[in-house]
Each structure stands twice: as C-alpha cells, then as structure tokens.
Structure 1
C-alpha cells in the first residue's frame, strides 16, 4: 500500500519541481528570452587563421570576403552560405558580390598593413610550381628586395581572384562548410600560380 501511495505521488512531485524551476527562471528574466541574432556581416570583425603562409592568408581573405558579399546583398553570412550551398546556379548578383567582397578584403588587409611581402610567399609558391631545376634555382636566388620591388602582394591577390571562375566553383558546393574549403583551396592555388608566373619574368 505504501508503495502504491509513493508511486501515485511521483507525478505530483515532478510537477511541483518543474513548476519551481520555471518560477526561478521567470524571476530571473527567463520569460523574456530572445533567440540570438546572426552577426551583422557589415560590421568589421577581426579574423585569425589556423595556418601560415599563403594558406593562412587566403583563409582570412575568404572569411572577410564572404562577410563583404553578404553585406552587399543585404543578407546574413549564414543565409548566404546556405543559399550558395543549395543552389546549382548562383545568380549574377551573388557572383559579383563575392568577387567584390574578396577584392575588398584584399584592400582592407593592405590598408591594415597585414599583407606579407611577396618575398615571404614566393618560396612556398615555387614548391609545387612546374619549373625546370635551373630556373627554379635562379628564382630562389633572387634577393628579397628585388622581388618586393617588382611585385606587390595586393596586386597578385587581386589578379588571382580575377582569374577565378567563381560561377563554376560555387556550382560544385556540397554543403555550407564546403564554401570556405573550396574558395580557400582555389585562391591558394591561384596565388601560387600567379606568383610563380610573375616572378619567373624577373629572371
């Protein structure tokens, strides 16, 4: 009998406990809950990369570039990446916004003085360039001052971005996370190719 009474009292006890928790939440402002708003892509944010060299540089460019594209389109960053991931045919406006966002990111890093000089990137670019041994050795022997006087990092980056086929790139996304991976990989390779081609003309 006592066991039955205890079993019958359990639901009442549970209701009382839940009611107590709700009362405490309401007393502490829990009744005015508002969902977190997406970050405003038009507000400049500090970005850091997990990598060094060209890969780290392009990682920062992509984060800032997608923010810039979302700001130009008047949407949140998450909304833009979701739209791009779900669409097989990005609009002209999306392509243009992404291109302009990436170029604006280059300009911002240049103004902040955080772009590395070309001489810091050339050797990495040559590591996977298809050059004969003598030419590669000659390029690697160039003084940093010669490379930095002849090339500008912002110019190399903008040329690399201009050469990208963003429409084809965006048409092959698998999911939202794939956007950054695809852009970073494509820009990294484009920068390496551009650096290798332009520094070759110095020899």
Structure 2
C-alpha cells in the first residue's frame, strides 16, 4: 500500500489524511485496498489530528465525518472511499445518497466533537483566519483588537462549522475526484477554506 501511495506523488498532507482513514489496512497487514478485516465505522474510535489550528480541526472533522457517512450507508470506510474515488460509475441517485450521507456525517462529527469538548473556541481560530483572509489592513487591525470574550459570545465554532458544511458543494467535489486518495485531501481543503471565509465574514460584522 505504501508503495502505491508514494507512486501517486501526493503531498504530505494528503498522505497524512489518507493514512488516518486507511491506516487500518496497514494495521491488519493489507497489501491492497481490500483489507482482510475492516474496522466497523459505527464504532466510536479515537481520532487525533496531525496538524494544528483550523487545518487540524478540519482534518479531524473529515476523518470522523467519513466514518459517520460509511456507518449511515452500511459500508466500511474503505469501501466508501474506494467507491467515491471511481468517477463515472454511479447514477445521479446514488451520488445524491452519498452526498447526503457525507453532509450528514460531517454534521454528526461536529456534534460529536462539541459533546466531547474538543471544538476550540472561535477566538483561537481568529488569527489564522485573518492571516488567510484578504481584508483591509485597518479592518484586520480592528478585528484583532476585539476581546476574545466578545468573539466567543458572538461566534460559536459548532455553528460556523455546521453552516460551512451546509454550504459545501459536495457534488462538485465528488465529480472532480481523480482517485480514492483525493477524498480526504479535497474535503479537508474545502472545509478549511470555507471555515476561514465564514469566520472572516462574520468577524466583519463585529466591527
């Protein structure tokens, strides 16, 4: 499996994300994308991100969300990723079912992280969001001066994430998958950018 992934020439982030979801195959000695034994996606497992900030938050969100989607569809996470990585093989109805399952899975992941207390307060994400946003310099300075208590009272991380997930164009994302290894990388990138945009837009309203 490691040889094939290396041959794809994926960036380090994509490898880390795919490793998080498909790592069970290595644990069971799987030499292909069909492991001898697959973990039950309906069983809660510990998922730790390998990054910090918004990137780490969305990495964990995607990993849990894919598990939730696979559970909802009654398949293993590996089988789901394989199927989603095969463009042109599914009907519109099948794609709609998968899109609904992915969106519901990501939303369920937000709720689980909120219940676990692992969602960071919005104030911890502000600086990173502003670093990535293209804002007027004076507006950026004014936003950075807002006290954390005000930011956290006005912005709830779970609300930002749920709104982001609701607005994601998952159909376009799935249509552009080149292979199964792209799923987590593209989901993580899309969610990260959407979170940054959402935070920046809503922070403007506080000034």
- For residues 1-203 of structure 1, the aligned pairs below 5 Å read 36-88=36-88, 91-203=95-207
Larger Rg: 1
Q: For residues 53-90 of structure 1, what are the alpha-carbon distances to aligned partners after superposition, in whole Å with 9 as ceiling and x for unaligned?
A: 00000000000000000000001101000000002456
Task: Give the structure-2-normalised TM-score.
Answer: 0.80
What do you get for the CA RMSD once the two structures are aligned?
1.1
Work out the CA distance in 2 between the residues paired with 1:122 and 1:160. Answer: 16
SS where residue 71 of structure 1 aligns?
helix
Work out the CA distance in 1 between the residues paired with 2:83 and 2:196. Answer: 30
The alpha carbon displacement at 1:128 in A equals 1.6
The alpha carbon displacement at 1:163 in A equals 1.0
Work out the CA distance in 2 between the residues paired with 1:47 and 1:166. Answer: 23
The alpha carbon displacement at 1:91 in A equals 1.3
The alpha carbon displacement at 1:177 in A equals 1.3
* Structure 1 unaligned spans of 5+: 1-34
Work out the CA distance in 2 between the residues paired with 1:160 and 1:124. Answer: 17
Work out the CA distance in 1 between the residues paired with 2:197 and 2:133. Answer: 7
Work out the CA distance in 1 between the residues paired with 2:107 and 2:87. Answer: 23
SS where residue 44 of structure 1 aligns?
coil
* Structure 2 unaligned spans of 5+: 1-34
Number of residues of Structure 1 aligned to a counterpart in Structure 2: 169
Work out the CA distance in 2 between the residues paired with 1:174 and 1:122. Answer: 33
The alpha carbon displacement at 1:176 in A equals 1.3
